[in-house]
Chain A
Amino acid sequence: MIERPDPASPPPPPPLAPPIGRVVATEQKPATPHQFHFWTANETSIGIGAIVRVEEPGNGKGETGKVVYGVVTDGFAYSDLATPLHDVVGAEGDPAKAAERPTVRQEIRLWTAAVLRQTPEEPLQPVPLGQVHVATDVDVAQALRMDAYLGGAQPTAIPVGLYTSGGLEAPVYVDADFLLGPEAAHLNISGVSGLATKTSAVEFLLSSIFQHFPPHKGRVAAVCFNVKGPDLCFLDRPGTLDDEDRRRYQRLGVAPEPFQQVRYFAPFKADGVNLNTLRTHPDLVGDVEPLVWGLREVLDYAEVLLNRDDIDAKADAFIDFLADRVVDKEFEDGFGGVHRVVTFADLERLFRSIFDGLELAGRGGGDSWRTHHIATMRKVRNRLANISTRCKGLVTDDGPSNDLPWGRFTDRTVYVVDVANVDPLGQDLVFARVVSQLRERLERRDLGVEAVVVFVDELNKYAPADGPETYVKKMLLDISERGRYLGLVLFGAEQFRSQVHRRVVGNAGTVVFGRMDADELATPGYQVLSPATKIKLATLPIGELMVRHPHFTQPIFVRFPRPAVLRGRDGVERYPPTADLPFEDAVARQLVKLDRRVRPNQVKDVIADRREEDVRRALAHTRQTRPHDALAHFKKQLGGRVAAAPAAARESVPPLNAISDEPY
């Protein structure tokens, strides 16, 4: 539970600890309304990122002075040594002697701090030359303006981590109105792979959101795209936590438990029966639902499949024609054929019919069909055929589709879409379709929840700073700029923030940094950070992050506990993926999953000698229908076995000339 202050009876201020420093101002380094300098003892517990409180002495009439909160952004140490040469002279050129000198030189620890908040806020004046104290819990809440959303009738605080400095540990909260909309939204997290713990941070934050999303804001769900390895494949399994992690969870008021409701979706492999995911351990694979799309699902997002050279009005028009006039309708091709196009196979038949018809009718005649040029039609046909080939398993040539539960999203549920092993083109398609569906349904308010967090890793791949304007990039820009009004929130992660489109990162209200690459920190986007902050970012330990949030006037360093879910690598070790099953076994397993009464041997007998595409179609239909008697339904869909007619014996004709025994 978050300890929320009661505005009616604020807690008494804690006794003021002795000062740890004093503000100093010189002509060279003056105190300003936004920055100040202070010195401390050499042995001090504060460092870069520490929050301090400056108190202006009272005026002697019982009135307290101004209070200023600041965060340490830089530190300096120097001695009274006038020039390095004097140190050499004193040690007679021998570094060993320098260590033996009887007196240690006077040293100073001078710190630069950026102002977080001044109370009263008006008139805004330079920081007074007062005593400096380490910030307490209450001070941290004040300094970060968290008091505005921690209390009140409808608090909106979401724990994000623990601020730790000088032996003090204070929870830091972000404002749900600014993390998930509508005031601001989106979160961007960047850092080097392996050390920045981006995925862990997002997992913890999602857990925190699910536990602290304010009831008055409605229901919330998350859609996570697993784009590499087993990262997000075990969110429902408990991970290993140590005592320190549990203590941090307790301090943050977050229960250390895995997600209670997780639904996994993964496409099939090319064989159409084995799932294309690393969550294939027998104990877990039953939870994974296949993601299979047919022609209709693909055609709505065909623009994704067209590369830059393809994008032209003619191709667009033809795709629209197919979507509006052809698919799922009785359609007369103009050459005497009537088609009902539902699947890719149907569409291919239509194309063949058109091309044959044009060839026959157009010998020396036209090369257009219903105003569409044959070249345009061939291009569209090739692109559509391409996706069904490259994404075999995701896109079915024939048979029904299986999709996310649109309109039936449930509160506090994570929907993991595993596209880690899918062709990049297919990833784009999945991403575009899922996010577009989310947007459309959130607009119509018929998704089932009021807010959805979409987690996308490798954002630099989907919304690069440079490169072509792809459909996916345009869509991400649209979410970034309009999503907060809809409740569609983008949590994006990437290694190099500078390589992501600036409108995407710029619209992220909350920005999180893990361990950063030094080269990345040298790019212009980080100029606002002090050299010391950059060094800290470049050496940030695992589990520590720098957070920027609209309420915080300066970035704040926080620590977060390990997520309470099984990490991808650990999950793969504990639940090793099984090898692909033979076709018959995979089909049997899926039917057993639908109906526990089904015996694998029964299935094998049924599908023996049957064409695989027929089996897949029947299986898909059974899966979609979910009948009471799965095997019976499957058999019905598979249809009767057609006995092969024996080939008629040919009457032999004797050779005109006898064949000699000569073999050559």
Chain B
Amino acid sequence: MTVPGSWVEAVVAAGAVPASHIPEASLGRGDVDEFIGADPVEGGELRVEPLSDARPLAPAAVCFLDGIEQWRVVGYGGITPIVRAHAAAAIRRRGPERRLRTVAEATAEVAITRLDRLPAGVRRALEGAGVRVLEFPAEEAGQPARALAAVRVEVQRTRTALERRLGEAWLRALAAEEWLVVDGVLSDSAALSEHPRALGVVKSHGAQYFEGAELERALTLADGHRTGVFRPKARGARRDIYSWYVRLWPWEGNDLLYGLLRLEARAHPETIALASPIAAWIRAERAPVATPDRRWDRLLYPIHDVETYLRARAPRDLTPLPASRLPRTAS
């Protein structure tokens, strides 16, 4: 935590009504529905490849990058929420001793609100508190539910920006035999999406790349198999990237997405050659399992470890406590 939480007291003292509410959404990011489409680059259509004969890639060292976000409504100026948000990202490196050690980390604390909707006194207090203030769009102010959804987007942006900066900075220090595994997509960053030893591990499957038989082939991928490499169709600022699915655990008896990961690497012929070794490597990362996290079937243990590390260092007052929300009996 870089900025003490005293700015909250300042804005409350200036007239904001104190609040203490941690929305469920602040505990993690939800899937984003989108349709993109993709072009298979390993053969004419999306293939399924067994990994039984693939020799897993065995990098000498691997760095794992992940981030967390936590936020809390700490006050209301009228009906406009004032949110205290904490984002953090860290890289933990695994060397030959197979233990993870933190090599880089960054944190950010921001206040998120709509300044022009706050009473003048509260606004001045917030502006003078020394905390970085982010504003959600004016059209989202008003209805609190929409405002909170907008806040969530701002918090996510803050986190992903932090992760991106940390990852890009670390790429410059990456040793020759070292890989950087990022929790999430690479294509947000030009540097990450072009690096030969950067790998994105995506466990959310809201984005749809295929339809029909190819979609079915991708989502019913058997345990120990991968799909052929495909190129997601570019969208917005996203860069050219190669991607493929790999199944970590048998999905039968569970869910279609159970144990399903999508990997991203630079759009380069070498990626196609490395697709099976990389998939086999990532499949080997199933153990140790990342329990007790509910996403353990798709969550790599080192990524889980980075999250644990970050949460252990996060401000305690942003962690939801199993406390009663009964009205307080004293002011």
Q: Which A residues form the contact surface with B (CB < 8 A)?
A: 80-83, 86-87, 89-91, 97-98, 101-106
Q: Are B287 and A90 in contact (CB under 8 A)?
A: yes
Whether B98 pairs with A90 at a CB distance below 8 angstroms is no
Q: Does A103 lie within 8 Å of B285, measured CB to CB?
A: yes
Q: How far is the CB of B316 from chain A (nearest CB, A)?
A: 13
| Interface contact A90-B308, CB-CB below 8 Å | no
Alpha-carbon gap, A82 to B284, bound state (A):
20
Closest A residue by C-beta to B304 = A80
User: Is B292 touching A101 in the complex (CB atoms < 8 A)?
Assistant: no
- From residue A345, how far is it (CB to closest CB) to chain B in Å? 86
Residues of B within 8 A of A89 (CB): 289
CB distance from B60 to the nearest CB of A (A): 12
Whether A81 contacts B287 by the Cβ 8 Å rule is: no
| Cα distance, A97 to B286, chains bound together (Å) | 11
Contact A103 B302 (CB under 8 A): yes
**Chain A residue, CB-CB nearest to B284:** A102
- Interface presence of B291 (CB below 8 A): yes
Are the CB atoms of B285 and A102 closer together than 8 Å? Answer: yes
B308 adjacent to A103 (CB under 8 Å): no
Interface of A is mostly: loop
Flag whether B301 is at the interface (Cβ < 8 A): yes
Residues of A within 8 A of B302 (CB): 103
Q: Contact at B289–A106, with CB atoms within 8 Å?
A: no
Q: Which residue among A87, A101, A102, A105 has the maximum number of chain B CB atoms within 10 Å of its CB?
A: A102
B288 touches A101 (CB 8 A): yes
Q: In the complex, what residue of chain A is closest to B293 when comparing beta carbons?
A: A82
CB of B14 within 8 Å of the partner chain: no
Give CA–CA (A92, B68) in the complex, Å: 31
Contact A82 B99 (CB under 8 A): no
Chain B hits for A87, CB < 8 A = 288-289
B98–A106 CB distance below 8 A: no
Can you sample 24 A-B contacts with CB below 8 Å? A81-B288, A82-B291, A82-B292, A83-B291, A86-B288, A86-B289, A86-B291, A87-B288, A87-B289, A90-B287, A91-B287, A101-B287, A102-B284, A102-B285, A103-B99, A103-B100, A103-B285, A103-B288, A103-B301, A104-B99, A105-B288, A105-B301, A106-B305, A106-B308
List residues of chain B with CB under 8 Å of any chain A CB.
Answer: 94, 97-100, 284-289, 291-292, 301-302, 305, 308
Residue among B285, B289, B302, B308 with the most chain A CB within 10 A?
B289
- Which of chain A's residues has its CB closest to B99's CB? A104
Shortest Cβ gap from A42 to chain B (Å): 9
**Among B97, B98, B286, B287, residue most surrounded by chain A Cβ atoms (within 10 Å):** B287
Contact B98 A103 (CB under 8 A): yes
Nearest-neighbour CB distance to chain B for A162, whole angstroms, equals: 34
8 smallest A-B Cβ distances: which pairs?
A90-B287, A101-B287, A82-B292, A90-B289, A104-B98, A86-B291, A82-B291, A90-B288
The interface residues of chain A lying within 8 Å CB-to-CB of B99 are 103-104
Question: What residues of chain A lie closer than 8 Å to B285, measured between beta carbons?
Answer: 102-103
A105 to chain B, nearest CB (A): 5
B288 neighbours in A (Cβ, 8 Å): 81, 86-87, 90, 101, 103, 105
- Measured between alpha carbons, how far is A89 from B259 in the docked complex, in Å? 13
A273 to chain B, nearest CB (A): 75
Q: Which residues of chain B have C-beta atoms less than 8 A from A81's C-beta? A: 288, 291
Residues of chain A with a CB closer than 8 A to B284's CB = 101-102
Closest to B287 in A: A90
